[in-house]
Every structure is written in C-alpha cells, then in structure tokens.
Amino acid sequence: MMLAISVLKRLGAGFTLDVSFDARPGITMLFGASGSGKTTLLRCIAGLARPDGGRIAVGDRVLFDSTTRVNVAVQDRHVGYVFQQAALFPHMSLRENIGYGLNRLGTDERQARVSTIAESFRISEILDRRPAHVSGGERQRAALARALVTEPSLLLLDEPLSALDQTIQSRIMDDLRRANQARRIPMLYVTHSHREVYTLGQQAVVIDAGRVIARGTPHEVLDRPEQTVLANLAGFENVFNGVVVERRERAGTMECRVEGTDTELEVPLTASAVNARIRIAIRAGDILVGTEEPRGLSARNVLRARLIELIAHGPTMVAVVDAGARFIVHLTPTGVESLHLQPGDHVWLIVKTYSCRIVVDTPWQHS
Amino acid sequence: MDWQAMALTARLAALVSVILLVISLPLAHWLTFSRRRWTFLVESIVSLPLVLPPTALGFYLLMSMGSRSPLGRWWTEWTGHPLAFTFEGLVIASVLYTLPFAVQPVAAAFAQIDPNLREASATLGASGFRTFVRVTLPLSIEGVIAGLVLSFAHTVGEFGVVLMVGGNLPGITRTVSISIYDHVQALEYAQANQTALVLLAFSMLVLIAVYGLRRRPWAAAPIA
C-alpha cells in the first residue's frame, strides 16, 4: 500500500510546511536539520496536528482531506508512532505497554501476540519490568514492538534512535529492517543523521525549511549533494567556495582555486566554465594525513599543511588543518598515535579527485 | 468538646470532598488540555474564592439562595424548604468555596504528564476516556489525592462562608470553627482551646500527608 502525502501547514513567523510525496512500503528516511518541519509532518500524518490544507491517504483509505473535510481521529487512523523518547507508560510493565493497543482482543490472543513480538525484538526476558528499570535501547525496542504489534497500516518513527549509542543503534536498525521485511508497510523515519539515512533507508526525502529539496535513494541524495544545505546535512564537513582555473576535458577533471587562498584542488569535471564560481564539498573522513611528502600516489591533491588542533569527539579524532584553506579531517585515535601527531606539526593532506563533490546551487558571492 | 459540631463538620467535609472529586476531574482535564482561548476565564472564576473575602462570597451565596432568587425559589418548590441556613445550602457553598483547592492540584498533576504519553495512547487506538482512565489518572493520582485531602481540610477550616450562609444552628450548620468562635464569645477559653487543638493537630497531619506524598518539596511530584 502506498502512502500519499500532501501537507500544507503554516507554523507562524513566516514558516510554512509545504510538502508532497509518495512513500512505498519500506523505509523512507525523512532527512533534514532540526526545525525543518520533519516532526510536524509526522504529527500531521498521525493526526496529532491538523494541517491547514492537503490530503493524506494510505492506499484507498483517506486519513485527511481538506477539500472533502475528512479528518480521521488519531485513535481511528491505525498509524503506529514511535516517539524520540519512547514514551512508554511509566506505570506499566513492558508487557502491559506492548499489549496496550490490543485491548479489543481476548487475553490469550493478546498474550500470544505480545510474546511473539517481544521475541523478535529480543525483550522477552524483561517483559515484566517497568520502563524505568530497563536500558534506553530496550525501551526503544519495546516502543517499536508496542507500535508494530497493533499491525498498523503505516509506521511513523521520530528520531527513535538519536538518544542511543552507536552499537545499540545499529542492532535496533537490524531489528527494524527485519520487521520491515516481514510487514511491507510504509515506514517514515525522521532523522538528522546522515549515517542512519545510509544504513537504514531504501528511499530518502530531504526536507529543508518546510520544503522537499531532494529525494531518491540515500546514495543518490547524499553522495551528489546539489545544494549547499544538503552538503552540510549529508556530512560534508568541508565546503569551500572556489573558482574554476582550468578545465581538462580529456582527463575529466578541472582545477579550482579555493577562495581567498592559493590552495588549488583538482575536482571532477562539471559544466562550469573557467572563472565560474562553484562550491567544493569534501567529507572529513575522505582526507588522508601523512607526516612526510607522499610519492607514487594516484591521488592528485597533495597539500602541504599545518596541524592546528586535535579534538576527541567520541571514537573519532577531529583534526583542524591549515593548508591555506582550513580543512576538517577525521582520524582514528590509533592513526593519531602512530603518526605522533601534535598541534603545530607540518603534515600533508591527500584528497582524491573524486572525493571532491561539486555543489552547484546558487553561485556564491564575494564576502 | 463539642462532639455534635465535630460530627457535623466531618460529614460536611466528606460530602464536599466527594462532590469536588467528581467535579474537579473533568474540570481540571478541560482546563489543562482544552485548546480554547478562553480557558483562562474559567480558570479565573474557579480561583476566585482564593482572593475574595469569605464574607463577600458568603453574602452573594446567601442572596442567591434567598427566596427572592430563582435558585432559592426552585429549591423551595422542589424540596419544600428554603436553601439558606440548611445543611444542603452549606454543602453547596462549601463546594464553591473549596473548588480551587480541589481543581488546582489535579490540574497541576495533569499538566506535568509528558504529552507524548497521551498521544501514544491515542495512536494505539485508545479513546479519550480510555486514555484518561489508563494513562492520565494513574499518572496523576498523587495530585488527585492531594486535591481530595486539601478539599476535606479546607472545608473543615472554613468560617466566614459558613457563618454567612449557614448561620449557627446546632446539629445543622454549626461546624467546629463556628463552635470555637462561640466559646470565645462566651469567654469559655478552655473549651475553645480543646477544639482548636484538635483542629491544629488535624491540619498538621493533613499537610504532612500532602507533602509526604510529593517526592520533591514545593513542586508537583515527578513521574519518571
């Protein structure tokens, strides 16, 4: 069954949510910065907020239509909703929480369904505990089970994993992928993490300032960001303004100078003419660091630079490096250790031509 | 010790508390969760007894219960006796006078429930009533009990409204606080002290119970 969404909602202060898209069965990632309107959209679909206009339908079932004045009540929509903070009922055991939506069934049938879904989410052992006495990951798995056990025609997930650490996240993502294969209902998954978009999504819809700005598979959307806002969202830590210096049609590359520096980068060829202004986006994890000048490399961009700062950020070391332009580079702690890197060191940055993405939205202006 | 006044007061306070519980649950629910813009007007009316002198409130209640008011006439026709200076009149006056003490703790308890919990209940197919019974009420039970206890205690302690609406009829409208006043007027300080001491002990116990129920001092109970 297909989910067809067209929602218009004014949110005050000149901000309007205005989106239309379809979602097939499977996981569709709704990706955008906080404040872009993702959560409001989910609330409109669930019936927790009322759109000013539009139409929401799952298959033939119309949940909302402003022209025919249809507005199905929340409790009659059969839409599963998983909240960011799980929103389990604190005064009930996990078993009671999961069985909450099955009150129309007999006790035996209800218990059987709760047990089955608890097993598939690996929480059978802790069903009699209260939410306060289980871990954050277990709470979120119970919330998923509670929403899915009622067999909704649609599942809405509002950043359900953002509060959890990465290992637990990836395990729950596996659970969710399995649940998705078994059920084949549309699942809308709101996130601001590009990592979740890559690992979980079959489709991605990018929302910015209340509008859909891109859609497609996660790789289509995130690997060739055509808008600067998308490059920032998609985890391109380095976005530079540049000018095309030379086009090498035969090599399929072009040489660009980073604005305000002498730093030149070889980047993939685009339609941009010489002297055209472009933006170059490079992921911090796609840049290599060497302590000696490297030889015999295929990479075309080897920049002499100085290490300014090293910051530990979770399991990654974030290096700020000055190569004329300032680069953000992600390193592993062991990498930092084996190179004996210290702030102030001279280093070499190595960037593959194809790690440089060209962003071609509005041309940048001299600042 | 004025046992008759004590029994009457206990009966009055118990009846008023039960009536207020029935009124305050839907009223507090509406005040807390309604999206209407004019809830604040109702809130102001409910809270009026907090600031209005009891004698002023009592005066208007007495007027509205008199034989010249529609309520007074209707009551007399229905029951055969007037409303003013009767136990029933006292109950109605006490309910109005004590309303904010019942509604406010309940509304505060409702308001501190995570809105996502009630929304989660609705997305799981629960009606508004089921959400109230299974989620809202259990999570605010401490506030409901606090409202009940405060209603009882406040009714026991009221004086001005009782004097205005009920007068001082032994066994009908003469409550303990009136009885203390009477003893003092008659210079019977020993008897006044006896009754006052019982009230003091009772009030202290009530407050200990109410604050003991809350897990944080001076704040609504946190529910994790």
Question: What is the distance in angstroms between the Cα of B122 and the nearest Cα belonging to chain A?
Answer: 5
Residues of A in contact with B123 (CB under 8 A): 46, 48, 74-75, 77, 79-81, 147
Question: What is the distance in angstroms between the Cα of A233 and the nearest Cα belonging to chain B?
Answer: 27
Amino acid in the structure at residue A314: G
For the four alpha carbons of A143, A149, A150 and A151, in that order, the dihedral sign comes to: positive
Residue A146 · residue A97 · CB < 8 Å: yes
Question: What is the distance in angstroms between the Cα of B22 and the nearest Cα belonging to chain A?
Answer: 23
Q: CA-CA distance, A10 to B192, in Å (whole number)?
A: 66
Q: Is B116 on the interface with A (CB under 8 A)?
A: yes
Q: Which of A39, A72, A75, A93 to mutate to test the interface with B (most CBs of B within 10 A)?
A: A75
Q: CA-CA distance, A84 to A140, in Å (whole number)?
A: 8
* B139 → closest Cβ in A74, A80, A91: A91
Phi, psi of B128, rounded to the nearest 5 degrees: -60, -40
Residue B126 and residue A147: Cβ atoms within 8 Å?
Answer: no
* B223 → closest Cβ in A77, A90, A103: A90
Residue whose structure tokens are 């059920």: A183
Angle between helices B87-111 and B141-157 (to 10 degrees): 150
Residue B116 and residue A87: Cβ atoms within 8 Å?
Answer: yes
Q: pLDDT class for B221, splitting at 50, 70, 90?
A: very low
Phi-psi region of A209 (alpha: psi -120 to 50; beta: other; left: phi over 0): left
Q: pLDDT class for A69, splitting at 50, 70, 90?
A: very high
Q: Where are the domains of chain A?
A: 3-232, 238-359
What number of other Cβ atoms are within 10 A of residue B115's Cβ? 11
Over the stretch A197-242, which tens digit does the pLDDT of each residue have?
877 777 889 998 888 988 888 777 776 666 667 777 677 778 888 8
The HSE-up count of residue A141 (CA atoms within 13 Å, CB side) is: 28
Return the structure tokens found at A70.
């249809």
What number of other Cβ atoms are within 10 A of residue A247's Cβ? 17
Q: Is B123 on the interface with A (CB under 8 A)?
A: yes
Rounded to an integer, the average pLDDT of B4-18 is 91
What is the per-residue pLDDT for A306? Answer: 93
Residue of B nearest to A147 (CA): B124
Greater pLDDT, A167 or B121: B121
Q: CA-CA distance, B131 to A87, in Å (whole number)?
A: 14
Residue B121 and residue A103: Cβ atoms within 8 Å?
Answer: no
Q: CA-CA distance, A221 to A203, in Å (whole number)?
A: 9
- The residues on A that touch B, with CB distances below 8 Å, are 46-48, 74-81, 83, 85, 87-91, 100-101, 103-104, 132, 146-147, 150
In this predicted structure, the answer to whether residue A12 has a pLDDT above a threshold of 80 is: no
Greater pLDDT, B200 or A180: B200
Q: CA-CA distance, A51 to A72, in Å (whole number)?
A: 12
Question: What is the distance in angstroms between the Cα of B63 and the nearest Cα belonging to chain A?
Answer: 46
Taking alpha carbons only, the member of A176, A19, A204 closest to residue A82 is: A176
Residues of A in contact with B132 (CB under 8 A): none
The CATH number corresponding to A238-359 among 1.10.10.10, 3.40.50.150, 2.40.50.100, 3.40.50.720 equals: 2.40.50.100
Q: CA-CA distance, B182 to B185, in Å (whole number)?
A: 5
Taking alpha carbons only, the member of B125, B130, B115, B104 closest to residue B27 is: B104
Fold classified for A3-232? Rossmann fold (3.40.50)
Rounded to an integer, the average pLDDT of A45-61 is 94
Residue A77 and residue B123: Cβ atoms within 8 Å?
Answer: yes
Q: List, in order of start, the domains of chain B with CATH numbers.
A: 3-213 (1.10.3720.10)
Residue B125 and residue A87: Cβ atoms within 8 Å?
Answer: no
* B124 → closest Cβ in A85, A91, A150: A150
Q: How many angstroms from the chain centroid is the CA of residue A87?
A: 22
Q: How many angstroms from the chain centroid is the CA of residue B67?
A: 26
pLDDT over 90, % of chain A: 46
Phi, psi of A222, rounded to the nearest 5 degrees: -95, -25
Q: CA-CA distance, A310 to A152, in Å (whole number)?
A: 48
Q: What DSSP letter does each residue of A176-198 carry, written as one string? A: HHHHHHHH--EEEEEES-HHHHH
What secondary structure, in 3-state letters, does B48-96 show?
HHHHCCHHHHHHHHHHHHCCCCHHHHHHHHHHCCCCCCCHHHHHHHHHH
* B126 → closest Cβ in A75, A132, A147: A75
Residue A46 and residue B123: Cβ atoms within 8 Å?
Answer: yes
* B124 → closest Cβ in A48, A90, A100: A100
Q: Is B130 on the interface with A (CB under 8 A)?
A: yes
Taking alpha carbons only, the member of A116, A68, A79, A81 closest to residue A1 is: A79
Q: CA-CA distance, A110 to A175, in Å (whole number)?
A: 22
Question: What is the distance in angstroms between the Cα of B113 and the nearest Cα belonging to chain A?
Answer: 10
In this predicted structure, the answer to whether residue B216 has a pLDDT above a threshold of 70 is: no
Rounded to an integer, the average pLDDT of A108-125 is 92
Q: CA-CA distance, A230 to A250, in Å (whole number)?
A: 30
Residue A74 and residue B135: Cβ atoms within 8 Å?
Answer: no
In this predicted structure, the answer to whether residue B224 has a pLDDT above a threshold of 70 is: no
Q: Which of B123, B133, B144 to mutate to test the interface with A (most CBs of A within 10 A)?
A: B123
Residue of B nearest to A89 (CA): B117
Q: CA-CA distance, A211 to A208, in Å (whole number)?
A: 5
Q: CA-CA distance, A346 to B42, in Å (whole number)?
A: 72
Residue A227 · residue A359 · CB < 8 Å: yes
* B114 → closest Cβ in A78, A80, A87: A87
CB contacts < 8 A, A to B, total 64
Q: pLDDT class for B218, splitting at 50, 70, 90?
A: very low
Q: Is B215 on the interface with A (CB under 8 A)?
A: no
* B127 → closest Cβ in A75, A77, A91: A75
In this predicted structure, the answer to whether residue B210 has a pLDDT above a threshold of 90 is: no
Beta bridge partners of A303: A349
Pairing of strands A316-323, A346-351: unpaired
Residue B223 and residue A147: Cβ atoms within 8 Å?
Answer: no
Over the stretch B97-139, which tens digit does the pLDDT of each residue have?
999 999 999 999 999 999 999 999 999 999 999 999 999 999 9
Residue A89 and residue B116: Cβ atoms within 8 Å?
Answer: no
Q: Which 3 state secondary structure label does DSSP give B20? A: helix
What is the per-residue pLDDT for A224? Answer: 66
